[in-house]
Structure 1
């Protein structure tokens, strides 16, 4: 049995400024984001991780490092995985989301993924994100153990809804995963996945 722990990165300045935080945006974690990651590490400190994967973007890599820094077991080296990078928003990356409040593709991004067409601004489609997410999942060895996987809001939400056998139109029906939330799946073969916990977030008293 392999247990997969998917964690979205901690809080960044783009999150607080309500700006697109995609593949071309590379902010560090805010102090609050680093504290979030440490708290997740404390929560998972007894998990004997046998492998760790993270997007190479600073916010995800730093989150993974902070989580593992709290672990009570020998920790694996973090494998930087470009397939886990955030969706590419093209020319929108780093720009205020409010600037595009009336743009039809913002509505599609949030509520109609099957209609989202970012070609106008050089972005990446949900289909492309699904394809690389599946490539990542198929690349894992699925040996007995616990895997930590740290990534981003849209990419992880898209990947994990796909593991739940959701259609592309259903990708955003539960909203985005929250910063430093934990979603866990189990699998015996890397083909079928059982959801254990979805978007678990620390209570304010735990933070």
Structure 2
């Protein structure tokens, strides 16, 4: 299968003020968030992307545009699509309220300790959120691999809780443990969906060379060894990227 780069949108005005934005229209990146998205674009500029998929909310579309704007002028254009299945969780009546106020709600403790049992008032359940997000990324991943080959790399720009839920699924973790995963604004996480199991290659990264993903796209092997399965002992790591 292909390799998925998960990016959370950059910091927003709601993040900075401690408000749960949810699906509120018009929530945009603040100055720091725009800079975060630009820096993430610089990290990803070397990586050949077969596709970029974004949540329809403005903060994710802004982040996607910033990432793609960092690419070299002569780089092949990256197809961009919007998928409502990657939109923010429907927080229902919690949407637009300050986090410090929500922390006093009984449901807050459920969200923290047993999110699989949490359903937001007049909103969706966290279990439903995970199902739709995981189904969407696996569907896109299979389509990218079928069209561009197993070495293809693609990008999905979404929201913190969705990316945490996707990573939890890839790690084989129960949703009730997903609060152990951190996903910061504009961070990069990487998952490869293999035939046997997903492999989580990175989580919540803010810096570092990603040129090894370009080597993967060209079909270079990670290291000598068996053709399938996880290398016993950890292996030699990815092949170096271009100099």
CA contact (8 A) 1:14 1:27 kept: yes
Instruction: Check conservation: 1:47, 1:71, Cα contact below 8 A.
Output: no
Give 1:100 deviation, angstroms. 2.2
2:165 matched residue in structure 1: 158
Q: Write out per-residue CA displacement over residues 116-136 of structure 1, whole angstroms, 9 at most, x where no aligned residue.
A: 232xx2121111112201320
Query: Equivalent residue for 2:139?
Result: 139
In the alignment, structure 1 residue 198 sits paired with structure 2 residue 203? yes
**CA shift in 2, pair 1:129/1:24, >3 Å:** same
SS at match of 2:179: coil
Task: Using the TM superposition, name which of 2-11 and 25-34 deviates more.
Answer: 25-34
Matches of 2:36 and 2:179, distance apart in 1: 24
- The alignment's TM-score, normalised by the length of structure 1, stands at 0.89
CA distance in 2 between partners of 1:161 and 1:26 (Å): 29
| Aligned-residue RMSD, C-alpha | 1.7
Q: Structure 1 residue 182 and structure 2 residue 188: aligned?
A: yes
Aligned residues of 2:50 and 2:154 also touching (Cα < 8 A): yes
| Superposition misfits of 4+ residues, deviation over 2 angstroms | 23-26
Q: 1:94 to 1:202 in 2, by over 3 A?
A: farther
- 5+ residue gaps, structure 2, are 209-243
**1:52-201 → structure 2 map (5 Å cutoff):** 52-72=52-72, 73-118=75-120, 121-140=121-140, 141-143=143-145, 144=149, 145-174=152-181, 176-189=182-195, 192-201=197-206
Aligned partners of 1:81, 1:136: CA distance in 2, in Å?
8
Q: Secondary structure at the match of 1:178?
A: coil
Give the secondary-structure state (helix, strand or coil) at the position aligned to 2:203: strand
1:120-172 alpha-carbon deviations (Å, 9 max, x no partner): x2121111112201320232214231101100011111122112111121111
- Other-structure match for 2:217: none
| Separation of aligned partners in 1, 2:26 and 2:198 | 31
Residues 19, 97 of structure 2: 8 Å contact kept: yes
Match of 1:21 in 2: 21
**Which whole-Å deviations, capped at 9, do the CAs of 1:65-121 have from their partners, x for residues lacking one?**
100110132131210010000111112111111112221111222332123232xx2
Q: Which runs of 5+ in 1 are unaligned?
A: none
Provide the C-alpha distance between the structure 1 equivalents of 2:48 and 2:96, rounded to a whole number of angstroms. 36
Deviates more, 1:161-170 or 1:48-57: 161-170
Higher CA-based Rg: 2
